[in-house]
């Protein structure tokens, strides 16, 4: 059974159609990517999964539940990455973890999580003094501290340097290895290609392709004997020809 089902999702803000008929399933245990340019409707789509936005039409199910109606239950079972700057500058790493753990019925051992994410030596550091990579690691830790079955991570590596990005990729694979299903929103091709088992490519609120990164690349006609990349696949899917 699919762990997430999105069927004919529509969402508009006034005159702007943000999501125009999006459908996909996410299977248990996969890293599923939503890839698309800015404004494609990725964040709006995941916000409906998180129960933060009500669909205008269409149906969304997460763990068989309705994110609007079953918000309290889903909050316990779905980990959502905190957006940058949503923690007070002066809160210490351990305090943030301890606070978030208190929101859950069956929290993970945050000390272990802190160690797994390489944050133990930053335990007493204030959030505002962490590097970009450390902040991202903390936001992943906070998304996982409730022992979720699903983690939804939106633009996880935006603003990170290449080394920190690779570190975070490694971390996401470790999260999946714990049995957590991951929904990853990204506009980075390399990230999508390396990390995701399957990808939905979004353009202007529609899914224009949905497959493994390898199959998306294989569908691109070869030019002059060069091997196409995911970027070529993406451009051929998202640009007007």
- Confirm or reject binding of residue 13 to ligand ADP (CB under 6 A): yes
Q: 65 to 104, contacts with Mg ion by CB under 5 A?
A: none
Partnered with residue 198 across adjacent β-strands are 32
Q: Which does 16 bind (CB under 5 to 8 A by kind): Mg ion, ligand ADP, none?
A: ligand ADP
Beta carbons of 188 and 153 less than 8 angstroms apart: no
Nearer to Mg ion, 42 or 198 (CB): 42
Question: What whole-number distance in Å separates Cα of residue 42 and Cα of residue 61?
Answer: 17
Q: Which does 13 bind (CB under 5 to 8 A by kind): Mg ion, ligand ADP, none?
A: ligand ADP
Residue 16 lies near ligand ADP (rule: CB under 6 A): yes
Minimum CB separation of residue 41 from ligand ADP in Å reads 4
**Residue 55 Cα distances to 18, 45, 51, 63, 94, angstroms:** 11, 9, 9, 17, 37
What secondary structure does DSSP assign to 178-229, as a single string?
Answer: TT-EEEEEE--HHHHHHH-SEEEEEETTEEEEEE-HHHHHHTSPPBTTBPP-
Give 109's contacts (C-beta < 8 A, 6+ positions apart): none
The residue (of 36 and 146) whose beta carbon lies closer to ligand ADP is 36
Q: CB under 5 to 8 A by kind: which of Mg ion, ligand ADP, none does 41 bind?
A: ligand ADP
186 contributes a contact to Mg ion by CB under 5 A: no
Strand partners, 78: 150
Question: How many H helices and E strands in the chain?
Answer: 9, 9
Q: Nearest CA to 166 among 156, 151, 178?
A: 156
- Contact between 18 and ligand ADP by CB under 6 A: the answer reads yes
* Site membership for Mg ion, residue 136 (CB under 5 A): no
Residue position matching structure tokens 């993970």: 108
Residues 36-65, one symbol each (x = binds Mg ion by CB under 5 A, - = not), give ------xx----------------------
| Residue 42 or 77 with smaller CB distance to Mg ion | 42
- Find the binding residues for ligand ADP in span 28-67 (CB under 6 A): 36, 38-44
* Cα–Cα dist 197/173, whole Å: 11
Q: Which does 213 bind (CB under 5 to 8 A by kind): ligand ADP, Mg ion, none?
A: none
Residues that bind ligand ADP (CB under 6 A): 13, 16, 18, 36, 38-44
- Summarize as ranges the residues that interact with Mg ion (CB under 5 A): 42-43
């Amino acid at each position: 059974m699919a762990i997430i089902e999105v069927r004919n999702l529509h969402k508009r803000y006034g005159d702007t159609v943000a999501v125009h008929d999006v459908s996909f399933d996410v299977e248990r245990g996969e890293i599923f990517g939503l890839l698309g340019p800015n404004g494609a409707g990725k964040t709006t789509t995941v916000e409906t999964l998180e129960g933060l936005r009500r669909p205008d039409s269409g149906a969304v199910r997460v763990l068989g539940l309705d994110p609007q109606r079953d918000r309290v239950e889903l909050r316990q079972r779905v980990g959502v990455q905190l957006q940058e700057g949503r923690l007070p500058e002066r809160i210490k790493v351990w305090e943030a973890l301890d606070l978030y753990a208190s929101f859950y019925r069956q929290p993970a051992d945050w000390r272990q999580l802190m160690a797994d994410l390489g944050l133990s030596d930053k335990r007493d550091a204030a959030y505002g003094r962490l590097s970009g990579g450390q902040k991202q690691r903390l936001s992943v830790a906070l998304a996982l501290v409730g022992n979720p079955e699903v983690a939804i991570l939106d633009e996880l590596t935006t603003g990170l340097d290449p080394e920190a990005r690779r570190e975070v990729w490694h971390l996401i694979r470790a999260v999946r290895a714990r049995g957590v299903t991951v929904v990853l929103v990204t506009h980075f091709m390399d990230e999508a290609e390396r990390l995701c088992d399957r990808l939905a490519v979004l353009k202007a609120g529609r899914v224009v392709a949905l497959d493994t990164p390898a199959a998306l690349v294989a569908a691109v006609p070869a030019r002059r004997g060069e091997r196409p990349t995911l970027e070529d696949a993406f451009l051929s899917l998202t640009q007007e020809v």
